[in-house]
Each structure stands twice: as C-alpha cells, then as structure tokens.
Amino acid sequence: TLFLDRIERLDAALNAFITVDRDGALEAARAADARLAAGDAGPLTGIPLAHKDVFCTEGVLTTCGSKMLANFVSPYDAHVVSLLKAAGAVSLGKTNMDEFAMGSSNENSHFGPAKNPWDTTRIPGGSSGGSAAAVAARLVPIATGTDTGGSVRQPAALTGVTGIKPTYGVVSRYGMIAYASSLDQGGAFGASAADCAQLLTAMAGFDPRDSTSLERPAEDYSRELAAQAAARPLAGLRIGLPKEFFGAGMADDVRSAVEAALDEYRALGATTVDVSLPNAQLAIPAYYVIAPAEASSNLSRFDGVRYGHRAPEYRDLAEMYSKSRAEGFGAEVKRRILVGTYVLSHGYYDAYYLQAQKLRRLIAQDFQAALAGCDIIAGPTSPTTAWAIGEKSDDPVQMYLSDIYTIAVNLAGLPGLSHPCGFGAGELPVGLQLVGDYFSEARLLNAAHRFQ
Ligand code: GLN
C-alpha cells in the first residue's frame, strides 16, 4: 500500500492517473504474496506498476485519454498486460495520456493535462505523460508506455526518468489501441536503465495475434548489466553524433547538459565519431503524412455503434456516426483524421502518401549508413526542457517540432532510449537519446546503466 498511499496523497496535484484500481491492486498483491509463499515467484512478483491507458485491461476502464472511450471497459487484456500479470507485477491503475496518443505534452487528454512533478506548472511531455510523471514522482517504480513518434522517450526526458522504445515488432500491439500501426510500439519507463531492462524483458515476446510481432527467441535485456564493473566499462563503444541533431534549434541549456554527458561517456571509455543523417529534417513532414493516414483508418472503428460514446440524439444512422464522432473526439484527433483522409484521397495519394513512404525509406537508409561507422547514435531527446502548460497549445506546428529528434527513429523502426543526463535552466531535467541498430536494446540499456 506504500505506492497506493503515495498516489492518493500526491496524484491530485499531478493528474498522472486516469484510473486507480485500489481493489484490484490489493487483490493482485495478495495473490503475489501467496505465490511468494509457495516459492512460485515470477520475475516481477509483487512489483507495482501502472499501464498507459492505451492498453486494454479486462474489467478496468480503458479510455485512451478520450471522451470517446470514457466508459469503455475492455473484455480482454492486451498482450503486454497479460504478460506482466503472469510475471507477477501488480497493476495500480491506468495513466493519463494525450487522446489516442496524439500529442507531445499530455494537454490533449480529455481528463485534463498531467503535470510535471519537477514543476507542476509545466507539461510532463507526451503522449505517455502520465506514466512518466508517475515514475518521476515515485508513484510507481515502473510503468508501460507507447511510442509512435517519441511518446516514451520525450516524456522520459522531460521528467528525468529512463524510457526505452524497442525495435518495432518486439512488443505485441495486441490490445494496444491503435494510432499509427506501422509506428506504434510499446515501451518501458523506469527510474533507471536496470528497471527498464527488467520491465522490457517481461513485456516483450512473440504474439501471433499481432501480424507484425517478430518471432525471435526470448531475450533477457538485463544480461549485459550484470557484467563485471570495470574502470572503463564502455571501452570500445563507438558513439556516433549526427551533425543534424546538434544544429540550431537545440536550447543552450540542453546543449550543455548533452555535451557534459558525452564527456562522461568518453571518461567511461567510449569514443565519439561524427556521423550524418542527411534526411533527418524530412522526418517530421513524412511522419505527419503517414501517422495521420494510418490514424484516419484506425479510428474509423469508433462509430458510436461498436464502442464508446454514442450521441444521445440523431435522426438517422449517418447522423449518429457524425454526431458521435463530433462529440467524442477532441480537436487534435479530428485534425489528424482530416489530414489523414486528405493525403489518402484519390489525386493526393501520389503527391503526399507515396512521397512520404519514399522519405521514410531514405531516413531508414541514413541510419543504416550512420550505424555502419558506429555502435550507437547519441544526441538530445528533446530540443528543450519541459515547457509551461498552455505555451504551445495554440500552435500545432510548434508542438510537432518538439519531436524533431525522436520521430525519425520510429520511421526506421529502430530501438531508442532516453536517459536523464543532467539539468537545464530552472533545474528541469534533460534527456540524452541513444539509438542503436535493430535488436540492440541490451546494448543501449547497458550504456545507459554504466552512465547511471
Ligand atoms: N507527438 C507525436 C504525435 O503527436 C508522437 C506521439 C506518440 O509517439 N504517440 O504524434
């Protein structure tokens, strides 16, 4: 009950949770005690955690941050949720998020913004802002999130915790409410890389119910962390610094924290080399064609018939659809559905969607070329520290630009991690992003672990 009591005491100021499942948690904790007593403990038996409210949880509300699903109780668990139950973890509840995971600040939540525990007048980042805030405020030791364009790494950076998005296909998307299916990937938040490694180990794994789930042998992502401590534990590690990630646009306080972190990496034995991702600046435009296109298709299932909100009054079926969607979706979600249907429509498809797919391929090729000359790529996670609530709400393009360093990684399907690397102005946390080749999660986690 230590964590449940902290939630009760502190969450009113943070709004990190949409649902706190006290009864379910206590029941699961008793079951965990019984398993321990019987000598049948799983890897996470008795460890409290929280799930981003995008993961379906049987018998517990799953809102996806939307009015559309404000009363939705899923009849089944997401694959991630059932794996973590089986590992013995105890879910304390569901965390706040931008509606349908669309946003970078958590301000698009129907349930009001989550707050940054370092300064509650500031945003925690998004879209998994509630999970990040909950871990940062120690309301839970670990939490799940999803990352379509940065939604694990960016809030981790802005709240001073560690977050990892694995290679696309490592974590099953079954029961994870879809935003942009070719980019969506479950990820892990923790206070340290070691915690993230344990959580990721438990939530990863092949699932035939997700057609893009990868059939690979199970991995222990903590395996490299156990190695003997050495004076220069990262000797031989080549860290590539993409010049495009160190140009104008990065705030001075972020730059100095990142430079200091790189010095620390050199002291640990790593060497740094300059690399280039020449098409990196095309990632945001490509993403804001592809992600809305996929969203417009995925969100067509919310029609007032099968799930969630239905308008109370309508004249015919068409009006029921349109009123239910008009009432159920927030402004950002509507904007993306409109953009998505536009770029997919006849006559515009070739000009937008097809071009964006070509850019996506070029961006993925850039990473392969850069990774040919280094083991991991490092840079800032976010160009600034956490901004004030309301500061960017009226300017979607400014909001989109805050993901400038994270989005390319999703387009390429690569694993990415953000770990705290110091503080900027006003004692606000700064994150360092590490990106590696496909399936290099254990290496990224080890580097972050040695740094910590
Ligand atoms: N901020 C990005 C968006 O709004 C990414 C969100 C995410 O990763 N879910 O789409």
The string of pLDDT tens digits covering residues 100-131 is: 999 999 999 999 999 999 999 999 999 999 99
Secondary structure, 3-state, 139-163: CCCEEEEECCCCCCHHHHHHHCCEE
Dihedral of CA atoms 152, 155, 158, 163 in degrees, nearest 10, equals: -30
* 91 close to ligand 1 (CB < 6 Angstrom): no
Sheet holding 48-52, edge to edge: 17-20, 90-95, 48-52, 142-146, 186-190, 162-165, 416-423, 429-436, 376-380, 238-242, 271-275
Please give the Cα distance from 53 to 65 (Å, whole number): 7
* 410 close to ligand 1 (CB < 6 Angstrom): no
Structure tokens of 322? 């349109």
* Ligand 1 centroid – CA 135 distance (Å): 20
Bridge partners, residue 442, by sequence = none
Dihedral of CA atoms 275, 192, 420, 170 in degrees, nearest 10, equals: 40
* 104 close to ligand 1 (CB < 6 Angstrom): yes
Query: For residue 154, how many other CB atoms are within 10 A of its CB?
Result: 32
* Ligand 1 centroid – CA 290 distance (Å): 12
* Ligand 1 centroid – CA 198 distance (Å): 25
81 to 25, 51, 85, 176, 260: CA distances (angstroms): 14, 8, 6, 9, 38
What three-state secondary structure class fits 171? Answer: coil
CB 235, CB 421: distance < 8 Å = no
Q: Which ligand 1 atom sits closest to the C-alpha of 400?
A: 1
Q: Whose CA is nearest to atom 10 of ligand 1?
A: 102
* Ligand 1 centroid – CA 42 distance (Å): 33
In this predicted structure, what is the pLDDT of residue 228?
Answer: 65
* 184 close to ligand 1 (CB < 6 Angstrom): no
- DSSP state string for 260-297: HHHHHHHHTT-EEEEE--TTGGGHHHHHHHHHHHHHHH
- DSSP state string for 424-441: -GGG-EEEEEEEESTT-H
Query: For residue 35, how many other CB atoms are within 10 A of its CB?
Result: 15
Structure tokens of 378? 């490092």
Lowest mean pLDDT among 116-120, 225-229, 277-281, 315-319: 225-229
ipTM over 0.95: yes
* Ligand 1 centroid – CA 117 distance (Å): 21
Query: Which of 54, 104, 404 to mutate to test ligand 1, by most ligand atoms within 8 A of the CB atom?
Result: 104
- Kindly report whether the peptide bond that precedes residue 82 is cis, defined as omega within 30 degrees of 0: no
E strands, 202-280, are 238-242, 271-275
* 198 close to ligand 1 (CB < 6 Angstrom): no
Binned at pLDDT 50, 70 and 90, residue 224 comes out as: confident
Structure tokens of 281? 């600046």
What average pLDDT is seen over the chain?
96
Provide the whole-model pTM.
0.97
In this predicted structure, what is the pLDDT of residue 294?
Answer: 98
* 294 close to ligand 1 (CB < 6 Angstrom): no
* 144 close to ligand 1 (CB < 6 Angstrom): no
- What mean pLDDT comes out for the span 39-68? 96
* 156 close to ligand 1 (CB < 6 Angstrom): no
Binned at pLDDT 50, 70 and 90, residue 15 comes out as: very high
Task: Name the residues annotated as catalytic.
Answer: 52, 127, 151
The string of pLDDT tens digits covering residues 305-326 is: 988 999 999 999 999 999 999 9
* Ligand 1 centroid – CA 141 distance (Å): 24
Torsion angles phi and psi, residue 263, rounded to 5: -60, -40
In this predicted structure, what is the pLDDT of residue 226?
Answer: 73
Structure tokens of 172? 């099953």
Domains and CATH numbers, the chain: 1-452 (3.90.1300.10)
DSSP character for 349?
Answer: I
Q: Which ligand 1 atom sits closest to the C-alpha of 104?
A: 1
CB 65, CB 19: distance < 8 Å = no
Query: Which of 146, 151, 290 to mutate to test ligand 1, by most ligand atoms within 8 A of the CB atom?
Result: 151
